A and B are shown apart, each in its own frame.
Chain A
């Protein structure tokens, strides 16, 4: 187990290295940060001084190693919009994004588990067709449009919920549903097919034929074993989830990392963009590792040797 953990952690290193290369290349391609930073009245001399100060006159590989050196110290440079180090600005926004992401995951779980289990146990029934149909629809709908429609219905027409912002739990409802619905659709499909596969196994027939209650067969014997693929996909959803916060936070003016990233991209504040890409990638990698470890909890047969 410890060896497996060590091996997975070692595999993370080349991935982080590649991400650093990708981020470096992107920033290098941005072209001319100097023009953005200088005022209109700057002379050529000012320009030369700034280029030298930023180290942009150095060869490419030297620039990359300087970049890596700073990165290892958590230094992504200063955001020119906030005139502060970029990483703390990004980290400061994390709690709001986590709040939204957890709420969305909660919505997704609360919707998908009952729907997926019912669809599987009552296969081909009216309910199954209804739920499967809704999950297909949930996947086809762009979630930013769903968000706008929810605002239209609950905030504009019914005036029941706030349009945007963060504060009370009421502010959380619409963004959480907007972000959670797409994930719920994916999870419902997955839970259904995973449950169906398990329900056809011999040990389920055995459990039924020895006279166990159907609820015990479904919840104790089938559900737990069908969770392994579900956990994998849920962990892989971390990337989708964080990607989704970008748009959801923009629609609902939710003051999280997603909104910050969109603003930074629009103003070409590359220090913030770099720091954010790294933080996001780090979160995704960690959650994938956690999913790996969760398998052994769910399925003791997996021993990692």
Chain B
């Protein structure tokens, strides 16, 4: 066996192994810093997380404090701006920078919690659908089709109109309307895994269905879940911002990037900064999460990398 073939075999063997972050953190970190976009993504995500956790310490002003005398002041580098409000102030004289810092809390909270809700529903239904098949599978998959036929944003708007907007309903609604993609992906993975020999062996020795699903199938489909859910945090943040922009998401006085954009839109003709900066904050955050998610996909799912 030649040397190159040997390394190839090693690589092939490596592909089948599940990646265990514990004990391999060093290897993961090396892989992460080898990828430029992965490093940038990680840096952005860490900064946004720190920003939201330490918002109280970093923000120069109280985000809710109105000061009508200071209203619609431009950013510091524009004539008329001052260092007291680096990114200017909004129509009520509130500091735009402080509001962006506090707004990150809502975006991350809603993004992460909604993905957990959606993931939990989707993974359970996907496992059941793929493992048991038959009529359960048909019912779940037709429900998936029904959900796919209604655009998410429309679905969410209707439910929020019915239930009334609040932080909790927003998280539940985003979770309830986004489980579909997890269910489909997990189901298709399960269909492949359940035919493997070790699952058949487990069944032969009399393991219960629950045991097979939890100990033999779930660990082997979880890496696709991690990849999809990371990327989902990004799309959920955009969805939350859209709903808040339309007035059915986060309600004032809680600060949200989408709500800031909606306020700023009315002052577009005179004060461009009010609507511009929250949008940049959303874009940069989403970009960071997408970079990190892409990197995770390359590491956890080498088959996808081959297609790139």
Contacts and interface: CB of A to CB of B under 8 A. Distances in A.
B161 A18 contact: no
Given A140-B234, A145-B282, A266 B268 contact: no
A141 interface: yes
A246 B145 CA distance: 21
Interface in A113-170: 136-137, 139-142, 144-145, 148-149, 151-152, 156
A22 B247 CA distance: 23
A75 B290 CA distance: 44
B interface, size bucket: 35 or more
A281 B149 contact: yes
A234 interface: no
Contacts of A243: 151-154
Interface stretch (B27-35, B188-196, B220-228, B238-246): B238-246
A31 to B, nearest CB: 8
A247 B245 contact: yes
Task: Kindly name the residue among B143, B151, B161 whose own CB sees the greatest number of chain A CB atoms within 10 A.
Answer: B151
Contacts of A266: 161, 247
A250 interface: yes
A242 interface: yes
Range, interface on chain A: 35 or more
> What does DSSP make chain B's interface, helix, strand, loop or mixed?
helix
A284 interface: yes
A261 interface: yes
A280 interface: yes
Contact of B287 (A140, A152, A193): A140
Contacts of A15: 142, 145-146, 149
B117 interface: no
Interface stretch (B78-86, B272-280, B295-303): B272-280
Given A14-B142, A26-B162, A140-B234, A247 B246 contact: yes
A247 B278 CA distance: 17
Nearest to B262: A144
Given A26-B158, A280-B154, A285 B283 contact: no
22 contacts: A15-B145, A30-B161, A136-B287, A137-B283, A140-B283, A140-B286, A141-B279, A142-B242, A142-B279, A142-B283, A144-B242, A144-B261, A148-B265, A149-B279, A152-B268, A197-B307, A246-B246, A247-B242, A247-B246, A280-B149, A280-B150, A288-B149
Interface of B: 142-143, 145-146, 148-154, 157-163, 234, 238, 241-242, 245-248, 258, 261, 264-265, 268-269, 272, 275-276, 278-279, 282-283, 286-287, 290, 307-308
Nearest 10 A/B pairs, CB to CB: A243-B151, A145-B279, A18-B146, A281-B149, A140-B287, A243-B153, A140-B286, A265-B161, A284-B149, A15-B145
